[in-house]
Amino acid sequence: MIEQLSIVVVEKDRDRALLIVDALREAGD
């Protein structure tokens, strides 16, 4: 679900999506 959510965010705001993906990666690891 996280990946799909990221894709939706990317469509809205790529820059913000990158920050969210980075945060999710850190939290995931």
Q: How do residues 18-29 score in pLDDT, each as one tens digit?
A: 888 899 999 987
Measure the CA–CA gap between 17 and 24, rounded to whole angstroms: 10
Backbone dihedral region of 13: left (phi > 0), alpha (psi from -120 to 50 degrees) or beta? beta
**Residue-range definition of the domain harbouring residue 17:** 1-29
Residue owning tokens 């850190």 = 26
| Token code pair at residue 5 | 């959510």
Higher pLDDT, 10 or 2: 2
DSSP assignment of the chain = -HHHHHHHHHHH-HHHHHHHHHHHHHHH-
Domain count, the chain: 1
Check pLDDT > 90 for residue 17: no
